[in-house]
Amino acid sequence: MSIIDNMNLKTLLTKDTINLHLTGKTKESIINELLDLLIAAGKIQDKDAAYNAVMERERKMSTGMKHGIAIPHGKTGTIDDLVACIGLADNPIDFDSLDGEACRIFIMTLSPLEKTGPHLQFLAEISLLFKSAEKRAEILKAASPEEVLKILAD
């Protein structure tokens, strides 16, 4: 079994790691909401370490991509395996995106300091998935976390 098979969106994401209604108005508040989601799902314990890791990465270069998607991520010594969550903002958030567009879809990943492979694989899979305008529109219209999981699995 390759890394792709055992470390993909469908195995990393559960209904507990998807929030359809992020309410934050800033990059920092969105990141905090996503971290709260990971804490509530039991995926991380040390929010401060995770926040610092993600913000350190944001300072190097914004993780706001194109098409209204941001992929805030970081590496921390406080976790053993890659974790991920998805949040959808009710209102577009300025995330210093590459294309200047505000973001509504946020995919956060945190990975252990010493493991690079799964992290890079996940980011590659995410970027392929969200190249589809149709997929992005379906995700934004999803009525439940289960529906998001179904869209990602198709």
pLDDT band at 2 (very low <50, low <70, confident <90, very high): very low
Higher pLDDT, 58 or 123: 58
Domain with 52, as residue range(s), is 3-153
Work out the angle between the directed axes of helices 47-60 and 27-40 (0-180°, nearest 10): 140
Helix (H) or strand (E) holding 93, with range, is strand 83-93
DSSP assignment of 13-55, as one string? --GGGEEEEE--SSHHHHHHHHHHHHHHTTS-S-HHHHHHHHH
pLDDT band at 152 (very low <50, low <70, confident <90, very high): confident
**Paired tokens of 125:** 């899979």
User: How many domains would you assign to the chain?
Assistant: 1
Q: Which of 12-16, 95-99, 108-112, 117-121 has the lowest mean pLDDT?
A: 117-121
- pTM here? 0.90
pLDDT tens by residue, 33-73: 999 999 999 999 999 999 999 999 999 999 998 899 999 99
Residue 61 CA to residue 59 CA, distance in Å, equals 6
CATH code assigned at 88: 3.40.930.10
